[in-house]
Structure 1
Amino acid sequence: MMMQFMIITSRRSKVHSKKRRVSVQELDQAMNTQVKFKIEQKFLYSRTGTFNYDNKYRGVSSRSIAKIKEDSEVDKDGFLINYALVLVGSGKESYEKGKKTLQNWKHFGMDWAFVDPATPVETGKKFCICVKEVLPWVMLPLQVVYVDESRKSRKGPADFGYGSGTLQGHLLAGEEQFSIELDGNGEVWYEITSFSKPAHFLSFLGYPYVKLRQKHFARHSSEAVLSMVCDGTEYEDISLNKLHLLFNTLCLYQK
């Protein structure tokens, strides 16, 4: 199968929190970079096919982590399961901020990975994750598999989340869910659940590094959500112990 992931040669500048005067040249460069990304994304979409993992796994990321671990098929087919759970706040306001963060793709708000924030979160929508690795920027195609939202009452428990699956051309094969939940105790949790395995010889060769990067992403994504929920407060100023950061990378099962 021909792999369609795209390497981008342009650079994406790091966003700084301090205000400064931006030159006309910098604005032009930023606009040109955005236009180039959008053109390259459209080109990649036109060349990607359908999902690159078995249909029987479609939507599996919406299950609880316990049920995914118990699924013998997931084990047998050699998927690596990753799971992260972070307490990011409390109350309805924090929940709404977390929900908006996911809807605007700001959980990818980091200097080495991002998604076009204009991409609507809706079932069937294709999008690209742009990742900076040893190579230049790499565009990885995915598609939103489902969007789930529930609210038992106006002030009671609520949750919002969506899952995306890898398309032909992605370096990995599998699915990932991002969700935000307001539980019965009024606490707000950010959760990442994914299962994946190599789908390209590059990811086979560097799979230990891929697993490390997945763990790295979960940490940075959690920091991004915390920052947004806390009105831009730098994550480093917040105690990890007080936030009850829970992170667990489960072992790889292979036959």
Structure 2
Amino acid sequence: MVFLCWARPSPQEQKACIVKSGTFNYDSEHRGASSKPTSTLQEDKKLSRNGFLVNHARSLVGSGMDTYEKGKTALQNWRHFGLDWAFVDSKTPIQSGVKFCVCVKEIFPWLMMPLQVVYVNEHRNTRKGVASFGFGSGTLQGHLLAGEERFSIELDHNNQVWYEILSFSRPAHFLSLIGYPYVLLRQKYFAHQSTDAVKKHLSA
């Protein structure tokens, strides 16, 4: 099952995709695993044994609490998906259990890939001057990949603000299986483009 659309998917088409998507397409033992520290996930032997590859990108996007708060707002409004070839409905709430579609244009047709928010984490320590906000989403039936992806923004103890993407995935359809090298390249390209979209929002 693949959800295709020949024009930019409308809200109604995205809703229909979500209704048909059903449940998660990866094992419950890995549910929420993307909330772990990056090094822990990269060293998780059970993930690698089950065929999952970890993808990670982390970029410095500014400094100071104001930048952090603006970055947090960017994630909450899906500005990190503000691309010509990929988007998420900006009205989608960042809440655990919410289902949504990532819409991606590949050559001619658009792909609608259903996911569900698995968790939302926020931490703040005013005494130490650090803060972080992030959320992880898991793939549903009909997604070309199986796994999770976390987007987060962090203010560290050096007053620097970092944008991070962390995911683990494996092919869930023969199209992604035969084209997995291309999928991995697209993940890296998305990370670069998404970081630029966040920086653009922060500098606006």
TM-score by length of 1: 0.78
1:160-239 paired onto structure 2 within 5 Å: 160-231=133-204
C-alpha separation in 2, matches of 1:110 and 1:53: 27
Per-residue CA distance 1:181-235 (angstroms, 9 max, x = gap): 001111000000000000001001111110110010000001111111112xxxx
1:134 deviation in Å? 2.3
Tell me which amino acid in the other structure corresponds to 2:120. Answer: V
1:102 deviation in Å? 0.2
1:54-203 paired onto structure 2 within 5 Å: 54-153=27-126, 156-203=129-176
| Identity over aligned pairs, percent | 60
Match of 1:9 among 6, 10, 16: 6
Per-residue CA distance 1:43-78 (angstroms, 9 max, x = gap): 112111110000011111111111011111011111
C-alpha separation in 2, matches of 1:70 and 1:214: 20
C-alpha separation in 2, matches of 1:159 and 1:208: 32
Per-residue CA distance 1:88-129 (angstroms, 9 max, x = gap): 000011001100000000100110100000000000000000
Count residues in correspondence: 204
Kindly indicate whether the alpha-carbon contact (under 8 Å) linking 1:129 and 1:139 is maintained by their aligned counterparts in 2: yes
C-alpha separation in 1, matches of 2:195 and 2:145: 22
1:86 deviation in Å? 0.4
Kindly indicate whether the alpha-carbon contact (under 8 Å) linking 2:128 and 2:157 is maintained by their aligned counterparts in 1: no
Secondary structure at the aligned position of 2:91 is classed as coil
1:135 deviation in Å? 3.9
List gaps (5 residues or longer) in structure 1.
12-35, 232-255
C-alpha separation in 2, matches of 1:103 and 1:154: 25
Q: List, as ranges, runs of 4+ consecutive aligned residues in structure 1 with deviation greater than 6 Å.
A: none
1:155 deviation in Å? 7.7
Backbone CA RMSD of aligned residues: 1.2
> Structure 1 residues 185, 170: CA separation in 2 closer, same or farther (over 3 Å shift)?
same
Tell me which amino acid in the other structure corresponds to 1:125. Answer: V
Give the greater-gyration-radius structure (CA).
Answer: 1
Secondary structure at the aligned position of 1:177 is classed as strand
Kindly indicate whether the alpha-carbon contact (under 8 Å) linking 1:92 and 1:155 is maintained by their aligned counterparts in 2: no
List gaps (5 residues or longer) in structure 2.
none
1:37 deviation in Å? 1.1
C-alpha separation in 1, matches of 2:26 and 2:116: 12
Tell me which amino acid in the other structure corresponds to 2:5. Answer: I
TM-score by length of 2: 0.97
Kindly indicate whether the alpha-carbon contact (under 8 Å) linking 1:90 and 1:188 is maintained by their aligned counterparts in 2: yes
Secondary structure at the aligned position of 2:10 is classed as helix
